[in-house]
Chains A and B, each alone.
Chain A
Amino acid sequence: KAGVTQTPRYLIKTRGQQVTLSCSPISGHRSVSWYQQTPGQGLQFLFEYFSETQRNKGNFPGRFSGRQFSNSRSEMNVSTLELGDSALYLCASSPLIAGGSDTQYFGPGTRLTVL
């Protein structure tokens, strides 16, 4: 099976712009989670989607949003970019096995640089 794919891999934006990142999960996986990785804050959970519904949300401002499509592909959007939004954004998919024992498989990430 193909792994989790994320596009684009690299992105440069300026403050105030908005950006959309895309994630295609492993075939058959229905849950998609997003994480932000920065040198200062480490890996932080953004949100999780399942069946086109946001099931869980981390502690990020409303400028960060996401959605999931019927084919399980997901996008996240960041509006009004700030310098501090520069990070590696990681997407993870899981099959969502009952009981929560499913494993999350990560994509290569999108490196966002805000100038």
Chain B
Amino acid sequence: AQSVTQLDSQVPVFEEAPVELRCNYSSSVSVYLFWYVQYPNQGLQLLLKYLSGSTLVESINGFEAEFNKSQTSFHLRKPSVHISDTAEYFCAVKETSGSRLTFGEGTQLTVNP
């Protein structure tokens, strides 16, 4: 079984400041890692994913996450946030041989002007 812990339930930041959303996971088998974003009254949108290869993965809107196997972490970062980044962010894992996503509790990112 896997588990995911998102270490911060709420992260308030000012516009143009850097941000890090932390995610740790636990699994006895190999996993794939994902970050999803959810805007109010909407479903989940895939932000980025780590499947294999380079441990640093990037999204098209400036977010990046680094897979750290030794620390079992997959923290999400952005060097300069915008008001429009305000949303809830979910870290998720999936066994490489499975189909079920296991989610963390979510982190509400609020970007203030």
Contact = CB atoms under 8 A, between A and B. Distances in A.
Interface in B2-37: 32, 34, 36
A108 B51 CA distance: 25
A94 B46 CA distance: 12
B97 A100 contact: yes
A83 to B, nearest CB: 21
Contacts of B43: 4, 6, 90, 106-109
Given A56-B98, A105-B46, A100 B32 contact: yes
A31 B99 contact: yes
Contacts of A15: none
Interface residues of A, number: 27
A104 B49 CA distance: 11
B94 interface: yes
A100 B105 contact: no
A55 B95 CA distance: 15
Contacts of A4: 43
B99 A108 contact: no
A45 B100 contact: yes
A11 interface: no
Given A100-B98, A101-B96, 4 more contacts: A55-B99, A99-B97, A103-B46, A106-B45
Interface of B: 32, 34, 36, 42-46, 49, 51-52, 90, 92, 94-106
